[in-house]
A and B are shown apart, each in its own frame.
Chain A
Amino acid sequence: MNDYFAVFGLPRKLRLDGEELQRRFYELSRVHHPDFHQGASEEAQARALSASALVNRAYRALRDPLGRVEYLVALEEGREGAATKPRAPMDLLEEMLEVQEALQEARAAGLDEASRQRLDAERQRLMARRASEEEAIAARAAAWDAAVDGQGDRQGLLDWFTQRLAARAYLGTVIEDLSDALGEGEEGHVSHRRH
């Protein structure tokens, strides 16, 4: 797996200056983008294409703080692809049983006003919950950076991130399902489920 931090000459730390990252992204783009290798040999062009694709993927993976945590965990654990996707915590799955039941009912029998309101309230609650999960994850970025410098439990943090990210992803799925059931999914544009 490519180390996207290394692409930008950065250590595997989570606190990043967004503008500085963008500056380096632009700098590398100016070096590698195929536009500037048009007259080169076929091999050189192919190399530019690969290098440019790598820079673009690296920037995409790192520019968003939460996406950065996801990428870091995958990188540190050497995980790739969807096959080894971590499961959501058991307690969360249990907690959601009731919502899932209500969803199934809604799908089978349609929504009356009362159940619509109930699902909508549930969705609001889950969105708030997801927001607080995200805050909690972001708040641990500093602890990770300290661990990289030798001051903390790297593996413990990684496990914790893995758990919280899985919880967040699962919450996202349920929120999406609720939106669909409420008929508020974006028509024709079901958003992507990260894998």
Chain B
Amino acid sequence: MSRIVGIDLGTTNSLVAYVEGGVPRVIRDPEGRALLPSIVAYTPDGILVGEPARRQLVRNPARTIYSVKRFMGRGYEDIQDELCHCPFEFLASADVLRIKVGDSAVTPPEVSAHVLRALRQRAEAFFGEPVEQAVITVPAYFNDSQRQATKDAGRVAGLDVLRIVNEPTAASLAYGLQKLAQGTIAVYDLGGGTFDVSILSVKDGIFEVLATHGNTHLGGDDFDRVLVEWLLADIRETHRVDLSKDPEARQELRLGAEAAKCRLSFDDRTLLTLPFEGFTYHRALTRAEVEGLIGPLVEATLGPCRMALKDAGLTPDRIDEVVLVGGSTRVPLVRRRVQDLFGRVPHSQLNPDEVVALGAAVQAQILAGGITDMLLLDVTPLSLGLETLGGVVSVLIPRNTTIPTMAKELFTTSVDGQGAVDLHVLQGERELARDNRSLARFELSGVDPMPAGMPKIEVTFLIDANGILQVRARELRTGKEASIEVRPTYGLTEAEVARMVEESFEHAEEDVNARLLIETRTEADTVMTHVERALAQGAGLVSAGELAGIRGALQALREVRSGQDRDLIRERTIEVNKATERLAEAMMDAALKGALSSRRADEILGPK
């Protein structure tokens, strides 16, 4: 069997890993970076992925798609409350969500496919051979549509997705392989956009998930969002400027807030300095202040923890080990609250950013037959049911059932000669169909004409090891397979996926050099914009000779920017950076002084 890689397709960052000599390892890019930012920029020159796309966030906010995982497998009406936070635009549609990019539109699986393709290329460059099979992780609390969308993204990226694995359980595999966690363990996984908690029993190489719970719309992104709202209000008050409708400024603030949040995981206080049109915003932030803002979000993770414990039939004192996963678990408040709840110090020996990808690689190795003494028995996170008379849901497979699993149900006709039966399949915990997630409508057709109530159609609902539903139907009297037409409520149809796969083959032929040239050009653009802005604000801080040097370097770069010589563009970009070193230092000094002199000390420390 050919090589199978493990991929963590994250909200903020994505990674690819493999197992060698029994040890899972992350594959790094040539610059040594493990994390690939899950960002795709649709620039006029072409598509950028990862770090180069990240630099487009501020320059090109409407066409730079980030956190697309939040939109996988969802419908337009699901995301109404998030629209105002996004700089990109969604098209109103009844089925699958579409994001507007210039004159055309892309679906979340297509955007994710670009991220997956970049990881695949990274792995291929590393191994020096094609990589066609992968295990991809998803949040444990992802529903069927979200899982299917992830699988579709893999296919569009040219990957055969052999398994969809839940992120917290993948993490437990990575810990378990190294015998770092045994007994009854709780995995608390707070990522960029999603939260999961899983309770497992780890014994004799079997990783049995007892219960899982979560929230697919709660993560570090939300921490950033409340910070941004707070900073916007602060700017309104201190500078009398409303930046909330300015997508570029919002994006600057979001990146600044995110960086400040990360620094506050290690420091008690930090200084935020952001240049805007006409003014520079300085703000001192303390950890306590930020904890006050994100506190309610952290609290919101504890309810699902209690639910998972309850479903597992356990009390917190029965948990032997607690494992932290996801970048957001670096936040000290998160650690404290988790420790309070479970009454023990959580584990975090394995890098919380990498552990899910490592676990995916372990699962890949199990599938490849390279590991035979470990087995993951996962569960389905949500109950699966059918709509019955009166819009009530009849549960076929309760949540936290070990997968694969199946349920059979008999159906009949209600009218003489009826040739088809409609079924509406839902996922969720509510009693009424309309309050649950609609997965698909099935039409059983080809029923032989018989008096009402005579046909006996046995429908088998099977949830496979990926947590994805398969449906089969059979007429018992004739033994005939009834044909099923599936109309996924929010997913892509088979034809759409096939078309995307085809298109992606065309794009795969794109010259790598062309892509690298685009990256180099956009990097040059970014540098030029920054330097021009710096010159506008800080020209008085350096000597005339210094300024002439900067302007000369800028001009030299401008002359070659649109040319074909990538090395020359990069060289001159570096020259500009060098020429502006002193200016940047002078501006930073001035900013610090400004922050200290223009405000009273208690202002800088923040409100009590």
Contacts and interface: CB of A to CB of B under 8 A. Distances in A.
Interface of A: 26, 29-30, 33-36, 38-39, 49-50, 52-54, 56-57, 59-60, 81-82, 186, 188-190, 192-193, 195
B206 to A, nearest CB: 5
Q: Which 3 pairs show the lowest CB-CB distances between chains A and B? A: A56-B402, A53-B404, A53-B406
B402 A60 contact: yes
A193 B395 CA distance: 8
A190 B431 contact: yes
Contacts of B26: none
- Looking at B404, B429, B431, B462, the one whose CB has the most chain A CB atoms below 10 A away is B404
A26 B203 CA distance: 10
B177 interface: no
Given A35-B366, A188-B430, A29 B404 contact: no
Contacts of A54: 406
B534 interface: no
Interface string B362-382: 010011110010011100000
Nearest to A30: B375
A52 B404 contact: yes
B401 interface: yes
Contact of A81 (B366, B409, B431): B409
B174 to A, nearest CB: 16
B228 to A, nearest CB: 28
B377 A190 contact: no
Contacts of B431: 190
Nearest to B133: A38
Given A39-B369, A53-B462, A33 B401 contact: no
Given A53-B404, A57-B405, A57-B406, A35 B465 contact: yes
B162 interface: yes
B464 interface: yes
Contacts of B516: none
29 contacts: A26-B203, A26-B206, A26-B375, A30-B206, A33-B375, A33-B377, A34-B404, A35-B163, A35-B363, A35-B366, A35-B465, A38-B1, A52-B465, A53-B404, A54-B406, A56-B401, A56-B403, A56-B404, A57-B401, A57-B405, A57-B406, A60-B401, A60-B402, A189-B307, A190-B430, A192-B383, A192-B398, A193-B395, A195-B395
Contacts of B403: 53, 56
A26 B204 contact: yes
Given A33-B465, A59-B402, 4 more contacts: A26-B203, A35-B375, A56-B402, A192-B383
Contact of A189 (B204, B410, B429, B465): B429
Given A49-B462, A50-B406, A57-B405, A192 B395 contact: yes
A38 B162 contact: yes
Interface string B11-34: 000000000000000000000000
Interface residues of B, number: 35
A83 to B, nearest CB: 8
A195 B394 contact: yes
A39 B372 CA distance: 14
Given A30-B375, A192-B398, A35 B367 contact: yes
- Looking at A56, A60, A81, A195, the one whose CB has the most chain B CB atoms below 10 A away is A56
B410 to A, nearest CB: 7
B404 A82 contact: no
B367 A38 contact: yes
Given A188-B429, A188-B430, A190-B431, A36 B372 contact: yes
A38 B404 contact: no
A49 B410 contact: no
A36 B377 CA distance: 12
Contacts of B383: 192
A193 B410 CA distance: 19
B463 to A, nearest CB: 8
A180 to B, nearest CB: 10
Given A49-B462, A81-B410, A186 B307 contact: yes
A81 B407 CA distance: 10
Nearest to A193: B395
A26 B204 CA distance: 9
Contacts of A36: 369, 372, 375
A53 to B, nearest CB: 4
Nearest to A33: B375
Contacts of A195: 394-395
Interface in B161-177: 162-163
Interface in B396-451: 398, 401-406, 409-410, 429-431
B51 to A, nearest CB: 34
Interface in B188-244: 203-204, 206, 208
A49 B464 CA distance: 7
Contacts of B395: 192-193, 195
A56 B462 contact: no
A34 B432 CA distance: 34
